[in-house]
Every structure is written in structure tokens, then in C-alpha cells.
Structure 1
Amino acid sequence: MPPEEPHQIECHLDRLLDERGMTLAELAERVGVTVVNLSILKNNRAKAIRFSTLSAICRELNCQPGDLLSSNR
């Protein structure tokens, strides 16, 4: 099996939380996911995200998916 290639997606959750004065714990509670899972996303270690989670994050941060995620190519 070939080695896994690193993904080219960058998460801007830190910046969005800071701009909104919200903590990771507060967002986790509002979205219904664990702080650990959001931390994995925030630190660019996530390999996948459910559309339902992405939608909930965007709803709570009042943003679009492109505000949260971008390609670092």
C-alpha cells in the first residue's frame, strides 16, 4: 500500500474563533462535537469532516465553508 499523501487543506478555525471572541469549548458545545475533535480540525490534523459538522460550525461562526477551509497549494 503506498504511503498516504498529506492533504492540501488548511483550517482557519483559530482565526475565526478569535475574530468572534469565542472559545473552542463554547463552539464544541454549540455544535455538539468534542473539544478534542475540534482541536484536531483546528490544528490541521483532521483527515475528514462530516458535512453536518461543517454546516454546524459555519452556522455558529456565521461563515461560509471557504472562510473556514482553504487550499494551501
Structure 2
Amino acid sequence: MLLQIFTLYIESLLLTMLVILIVLGLWIGLRALSGVDKTAKERQVHLYDMIMIAVLTIPVLSFATMSILLVLKA
């Protein structure tokens, strides 16, 4: 039972990381194309903000995704 839960968590962690990285990559790309950040320092600060957002949201969304996967597999 514990192994099944751990497997679901790893699966949801990978799925969530992939989704978050795609969304943040699109956000950074659109921001770069629109030219919002004028200096390299502003771009660096924005990149650090995106990394912090990813680090904070991936574990939380991973548990939510795990619960959805658990319901779907039950």
C-alpha cells in the first residue's frame, strides 16, 4: 500500500514539474518577446522569481495531482 502511494506521488511529482516548467517557460518567453524587461538585471530578477514560484508550487500541486490520480485509479 505504501509503495502504491509513493508511486502515485512520484508520478504526480513528475507530471506537475512538467506542467509547471512548460507554463513558466511560456510565461518567460512571452515576457521576453514583449520586451517588458529592459535591462539584464530585470530579466535576472524575473527569472529568479519564476524559479521561486516553481519551487514553492510544485510540491503543493503535486499532492493535489496525486489525489486526482488516486480518485481516477480507484
Does the pair score TM above 0.5? no
| TM-score, scaled relative to structure 2 | 0.29
| TM-score, scaled relative to structure 1 | 0.29
User: Highest relative contact order (Cα 8 Å, sep 6+), 1 or 2?
Assistant: 2
Higher helix share: 2
Task: Please tell me whether Structure 1 or Structure 2 has the larger radius of gyration of its CA atoms.
Answer: 2
Higher strand share: 1
